Amino acid sequence: MSQTENKGSLISSEAYEKIDKWIARYPADKRQSALIPALSIVQEMCGNGSLSTELMDEMAAYIGIPEIAVYEVASFYSMYELEPVGRNMVAVCTNISCMLCGGEEIVQHIEDKYGVKIGGTTADGKFTLKQEEECLAACAGAPMMTVNGHYHEKLTLEKVDSIIEGLK
């Protein structure tokens, strides 16, 4: 399938252009190797931060793999969201180093102050507090969290508030 055959699709032609660049890196019979970056592009550019079943199905058809193969990848990696999310994604690490340095208190603080439970989204849609993260390989900066994939380290509750309050 080419981009021009995808008129009326849920995935924009701009997204397809980026996806095609990834697909071109692999042999024709290994198009599925581009699935992970393709899903990231679709989630960011066409899904408001998450992947609907329809978007995943369209990606499966475009790459030429079974829909279930896309669902398996999308449900395995924590960077993909399968439910609608807020405008920003906040994820606090609560693995061992961060836990010992106050990661769980940070989660509790965010839940109490901003009225959001882990896995949920604030009423104003400002951010989703992701499920607790496993170690993000920044233990030296514990406690840490990511906001839209960007690392924030050596957190205090005041720092957390100033980061969250600065979100759009």
Residues in the site for ligand FES, rule: CB under 6 A? 93, 95-98, 135-139, 142, 144
Closest to ligand FES by CB, 47 or 143:
143
CB of 152 to ligand FES, least distance (A): 11
CB of 112 to ligand FES, least distance (A): 21
Cis peptide before 37 (omega within 30 of 0): no
CB of 159 to ligand FES, least distance (A): 15
Closest to ligand FES by CB, 65 or 139:
139
Closest to ligand FES by CB, 35 or 106:
106
Closest to ligand FES by CB, 55 or 145:
145
CB of 108 to ligand FES, least distance (A): 16
- Cα separation, 155 vs 76, in Å, equals 28
Q: Of 43, 118, 101, which is closest to residue 75 (Cα–Cα)?
A: 43
CB atoms within 10 A of CB 103: 23
- Cα separation, 44 vs 62, in Å, equals 18
Closest to ligand FES by CB, 49 or 141:
141
Contact (Cβ atoms closer than 8 angstroms) between residue 134 and residue 122: no
Q: Coil, strand or helix: which one is 129?
A: strand
- Cα separation, 60 vs 35, in Å, equals 9
DSSP H or E run through 135: none
CB of 121 to ligand FES, least distance (A): 23
